[in-house]
Each structure stands twice: as structure tokens, then as C-alpha cells.
Structure 1
Amino acid sequence: MRIREKMITATCRTENGIEWTSLKIKADGPEPAQHGALPLSIPDGSAAEILDKLVLPDDIAEHLKGDITVAMRTSELLMRTMEFPTADPQEIADMVGFQIDKASPFPADQLAIAHEVLHFSENSATVLMAAAKRECIDAIGDTFSRHGVHIHSIDASILGWMQLIREHGELAKTGCEILIVDDGMDFSLAVLSDGLPMAFRALHAQLDDMNVVDELAYEINYTLTMLDGEHVLETPEAIQFWSFNGVPEPLQAKLTAKTGLAIHCGELSALPPLSEGIIQRALKTESHIELIPREWIDHENRVMLRKKFTLISSAIAAVWIFVLLIFFGIYKTRDLKLAGVQGRANAIAPAANQALQNRKKLKALKVYTDRSDSALECLREVTSQLPSGDIEFVSYNYSKGKGATLRGTAANDDLVNDFFVKLTKSTLFERLKDQSVNTKTTKGVRRAVFSVTLVLPAEEEDK
């Protein structure tokens, strides 16, 4: 079966605008990714505003094609990892809803909740849970829909960076690791165990403020203490610090002194754009965080169903119109042929009527000139068929072209029946009808009274 081509696009905020990566997937594999970016007009002091607070370019829909995935900031998300004593998907979903409801300061009906299974075992699962306020999700959707762009998926930007850093070979597969990412839009702390994210924290300080060290040290210590009560973690040996502008050496030295951990710095500019990491996550066939509200999916399905219905209805209507055109064409062709025949018939009608009148006259003339079935000839034939014995005619009525009616008497019924048999064999008459034989006594004498109609052969009509 031929695989339908598909286009997917991931888009993310940057300090100065918006960037995206588009990937076309064909039957023989994906094409090379296409990157793009547009600047945004951002008022002073609003660089950190999320997508729902921004005015997108009018032509943004020309660049964002296919299934659209948007990345959200860590500060807009509640994310944590837990191990559940079940591998059943439905039970996991129920437990995620319960745990998010416990941890979130907002009611569950005001949240969009999703989860991602990081690891399965026979009877348990390690699950990353995420939640975001619905009003934030709806505002992002409204921002894009105003420009004709419909979002199909919502992911977390920190997970996109982790995907790129892992692809770069900088994340350990074993042990405990602390990851800090500052991309100008998000300042995030993540703790990983054996390559799996255990906890995320959104930081609010700036790297140019040395007080950030105190906040970082506090958040690292608090997060590790919290995780010790839920997971068995090894002691981390270093902190991976990724940013675009580098980490000042005094800040590194102070952070090392505060935490006792070595600092390994990485350049985000050496990695592909964040949107490519989000694309790589969108290509995962297994479960991944999907913060898109269910009603958005239902709405999109209804739109697609409506499009399919419209397409099918249009196809059916086109077929019906085509069939009607064929029938109309056949009808018009036959109508034209009939009109031609009628015209020719009208043209020869006077001559045909004259020929018909002449034919009738000829037929009448033949009837009155043909003596082969005349009254005398019929009478001669009748008398020639009389049997020997006492039989006589009382009346004889002849009708030209039709036949004769004969009445008479005989000494007995046998004579009459013999007479009828002979008449039946006559070649002059086609058949006999209305035969009747009765016995009548007159003045003491009994005689058989009979009547019969002799039918002449009908003349064949001329074709």
C-alpha cells in the first residue's frame, strides 16, 4: 500500500522572534529538514513573553505547513517523573490524572494533562507527567488560529533541548546528572537518572546576576532532597550548563564552591535549532507528551471528516451530473433523430395518403371483380357438398368477402352432420361457425332443422 506523503513542522520562540523546522515524510523516507525564522516586534521588557502574548507575522501560515507542533516553556509547565506499579496504559493514565491533581495548585478541569512512558518493566512503568493551564493552551491556539494555523501538538522546549543534547552525545546513560539550560527564553534545571529525566525546575534569575548561584544551589539541593524520597539516586558528580552566551568563569567558580560539583559548559549554538529537537520527538512512534486538548483533536477530526464528506459528495455529484449529461445527450440525439424521421414522414405524408387511398380503391375493386368466392360460387360449392338423402335449404344469405349463412332441414341429424363434415373439408371455406342442429315436428312430421355460417378466408393485408 502506498504511504501518503506527510509534512510536519515544529515551531519555537527565540529571544528575537520565532523559528521552525519542517520535514516532509515520503514513502521512501524523510526529505532533508528545512529551517526558517522570522523576527518579531517585541516591546522592551517583553522578550520573555510566551507565544499567546505575541503578534505573529501576517504571512506565518505560508511558512508553517502540515501538522504543527508548538514548544512551551518550562515555566508554563508542571512536570515530574514517577514510577507506577502497573504497565497497563489505562491505569497509568488514571494515576497520572490523580498525581497531577494532587501536585497542581489548580483544579484538574483547568489543566491540560499528558504523560510519556520513559521505561517499561514487567509490572511497572516510569512515567513523565506534564500539565499546563488550559487558558495558556487556549491562548496559544487562538494566536495561531487567527493566522490560519491550526496546532496539532504541544511539547516542552526543555525536552527538545534534551533530545538535541542526547543526540550530540553529551548525556550520560548511567548515573545521576544535573542539566541546566539557558536559551534566553527559558532557564531550566533538570535532574536525570540513567539518562531519564526525573524532575524539572524553572529558574527565574539571570546569568549576569551573581545571586543566581544562590538560587541554583538552593534549587539543586531542594530537588535532589525531594527525589531522594521517591527514587534511589546516585550522587551527581557534575553539572552540565548549556547556554548561547557562555557561563562567566566567576559564576562557575562560585557555583562549584556552593555545590561541590564540577561545571561542564556547552554551547547551544553548536546544536541544531530547538525546533529540530521537537521534530525528532514528534517522529517518535512510542508515547510522548501531548498537551493538545482533546476537543482540539475532535474538532480537527470533524474538520477532516467534513472535508472528506465534501470531497465524496462532490465526487458523487460529479458522477451523477456526468450520468445525467450522458442520458441528456442520448435523449437529445434520439430527439434529433426522431425529429429528422418526423420531418421526412411529414414530407412524404401527402404521397403516402394518396397511395393509401389508391390501395383501398384497388382492394375494393378486387373484391367486386374477383368471382372466385362470389355468391354463386359459394352456392355451387355448398350444393356440391350435399349428401345423398332428404336435405333441403330454407335460406341462403351471402356477404361479399365474409361468407354465407345457410339454413335448412333434413330427414334426420345424421344427414346434417355428414353435410357439416363435407363443408369442413371444402377448400373454399376457411371454417364453419355457429353450427346448430335441432329437431322439429310439423304436422306430425319430424325433421332436423339446421343452420351454419360459412367463413371465407380473410384477404392478406399488404405490408
Structure 2
Amino acid sequence: MGGIGIREIFGLPRRRFTAVTRRGAGFEWTTVAGRSGKTERVAQGFACGADVEIPAGSPAPCNPPDAAVHAGIPSASLLLRVLDLPDVPDDEIKGMVELQADKISPFPLETMVISHEILERRGGRCRALLAAAREDTVAAFIEQLKGAGFEALRVDVDALGWARVIHEAGAAPAEGRHAALILSDGVPELIIFQDGCPVLFRTIVEADGLEGEGFAEEIANVAGYALLGVEVDRGPATASFRIWHSGALPAGLAERL
């Protein structure tokens, strides 16, 4: 069956732009540009507000060449759910997403910002990512950006950027199931792909603040339950696993996964 691939759905404009995401006490920014059909990094740095105390070992603050940015809000601040819907016109998709948000949101919809991203259209079905956040959470994030000298042209989901990186690295196979565990400066994240398209985004908040063996055990437990849940929902499939990290792996993590 034919379908629209994740590369087209996740495709960012092939031009110069600056992306920003929350990292520790400030914001990490990267300026990229489209060259020869690929996205290449032009510059990179770290910025924060003047009243923020920079932790020891953090990069020296510097401003990006572009103040207007695409900002990635941390997944821990969001309610994320992958939905499998009929392939209908976009306005109908929007209504279906809002209906699902009303069912799963713990807060009244009038206090929420709700959006969605179409991940894939295939065989008469549409796979979409529902993203919802409280209005005050998004407003606070935008104010923090302003304090660091940024103007947000667009606010996206941080995890979608990771999904794009993983896909373009060829780590999410076109057939079968793949789990990607992301260990960054923030809360660990798990993205599970099915046939090259994400089917689950999970922020592992239970591991926040844990260290060593306790961290590894919590990560392994959450990842195991998540994979089991996907198998129950979508059936058994050949699975692979990869950890994305910088520096040494936490003690005992590789052995548990």
C-alpha cells in the first residue's frame, strides 16, 4: 500500500532557521540551513535570561544570529497521544483530535492549548499526534524565551524534533518496531516507532531525580511496560532498541534493557 512517508510529514522548510529548546537553566539553540537536499548545522550555542544563575560546567551564554526562532516545548509539559484516525479532510481531523482531547485531558478544554501533527497517511488511515498543554504553561514558556532574547515564531513539540533526527539517522526501520530512549539534560524520553512512524511518545517522569541503579531500574521498567502496551494494541513485531545519549551510560542501564 502506498502512503505518505514520515520524511515528508516531518519535513521542515529547507531554508535557514534557528531552533531553541529548554536545557537546564537556559535554552540551547541551533541554526540550520538546507544545503544539497540536507539540513546542516550552521551555528550552535546556549542562552538564558540575565537573572539566571548558570550552573558550573554549562556553556558560556551567547546569542544566536536570529532572534526569531522555532521553539520546542519540553514533552514533560505536554499531554501527548498518538491517534489512528480515518483519512478524512483536515478540518474533520481537527474535530476528531479535539474530541479525543476532551476525553483524556484532566483539565477543562477552555484552559488548554490543543494542536496536532499529522504523522502519516496510509491505506485510508491517518496517524496524528495530539499535543495539549495548559494555556498558562505555554504562556510561561514563551515569557521565558523572551527573557532570554528570543521571539517564538512557532512553538513545536520537542519530541518531534527527536523523532525527525532518529528517522533521518536511519535508526527507525521501515518495517518492524523500534524503541528509542533519549537521555538528554532533561527528563528521559521514550519514542516507539512502528514501520518507521511514531506510535508512542512517553516522558519518563518517574526517573527524574533518580541516579545510578535506581535510575536504570526505573527506566527499564517503564520501557518494558510501554513496549508491552504497544504489543497489546498493535500485535507482536520484530523490535530493536537504541539509546541516544552523550557521555557514559548510567550504571546498569544497558544490562537491563
Q: What secondary structure does 1:217 align onto?
A: helix
Amino acid at match of 1:75: A
Larger Rg: 1
TM-score norm. by structure 2 comes to: 0.77
2:190/2:201 contact within 8 Å kept: yes
Structure 2 distance, partners of 1:212, 1:147, is 32
- Give the match for residue 43 of structure 2: 35
Deviations 1:146-196 (A, max 9, x none): 566421111222222232232222222211111110111231112111111
Q: 1:175 to 1:207 in 2, by over 3 A?
A: farther
- Give the match for residue 28 of structure 2: 19
Q: What secondary structure does 1:211 align onto?
A: helix
Structure 1 distance, partners of 2:39, 2:164, is 20
Q: 1:148 to 1:240 in 2, by over 3 A?
A: closer
- Give the match for residue 137 of structure 1: 138
- Give the match for residue 222 of structure 2: 219
1:125 aligns with 2:126: yes
Structure 2 distance, partners of 1:212, 1:252, is 12
Higher relative contact order (CA 8 A, sep 6+): 2
* CA shift for structure 1 position 221: 3.4
Structure 2 distance, partners of 1:100, 1:20, is 31
* CA shift for structure 1 position 66: 6.3
Deviations 1:191-239 (A, max 9, x none): 1111111112111325732122332233223323433454335152x42
Structure 2 distance, partners of 1:85, 1:94, is 12
1:112/1:134 contact within 8 Å kept: yes
Structure 1 stretch displaced more, 157-166 or 108-117: 157-166
Structure 2 distance, partners of 1:142, 1:18, is 13
Q: What secondary structure does 1:252 align onto?
A: helix
* CA shift for structure 1 position 23: 4.5
- Could you list the structure 1 runs, at least 4 aligned residues long, displaced by more than 6 angstroms after superposition: 28-32
- Give the match for residue 150 of structure 1: 151
- Give the match for residue 11 of structure 2: none
The answer to which structure has the higher helix fraction is: 1
- Give the match for residue 173 of structure 1: 174
Q: What secondary structure does 2:248 align onto?
A: coil
Aligned partner of 1:250 among 235, 249, 252: 252
Structure 1 distance, partners of 2:102, 2:93, is 14
Structure 2 distance, partners of 1:67, 1:17, is 16
1:7/1:65 contact within 8 Å kept: no
- Give the match for residue 69 of structure 2: 68
Q: What secondary structure does 1:186 align onto?
A: coil
Structure 1 distance, partners of 2:79, 2:156, is 12
Structure 2 distance, partners of 1:249, 1:136, is 34
Q: 1:146 to 1:216 in 2, by over 3 A?
A: closer
The answer to which structure has the higher strand fraction is: 2
Amino acid at match of 1:213: A
List aligned pairs for 1:75-94, cutoff 5 A: 75-94=76-95
List aligned pairs for 1:282-293, cutoff 5 A: none
2:25/2:54 contact within 8 Å kept: no
Q: What secondary structure does 2:172 align onto?
A: coil
Structure 1 distance, partners of 2:194, 2:184, is 23
Q: What is the RMSD computed on CA atoms of the aligned residues?
A: 3.2
- Give the match for residue 240 of structure 1: 242
Q: State the percentage of identical aligned residues.
A: 25
Give structure 2 stretches of 5+ with no counterpart: 1-14
* CA shift for structure 1 position 249: 5.7
Count, aligned residues: 235
Q: What secondary structure does 2:141 align onto?
A: helix
Structure 2 distance, partners of 1:18, 1:75, is 16
TM-score norm. by structure 1 comes to: 0.45
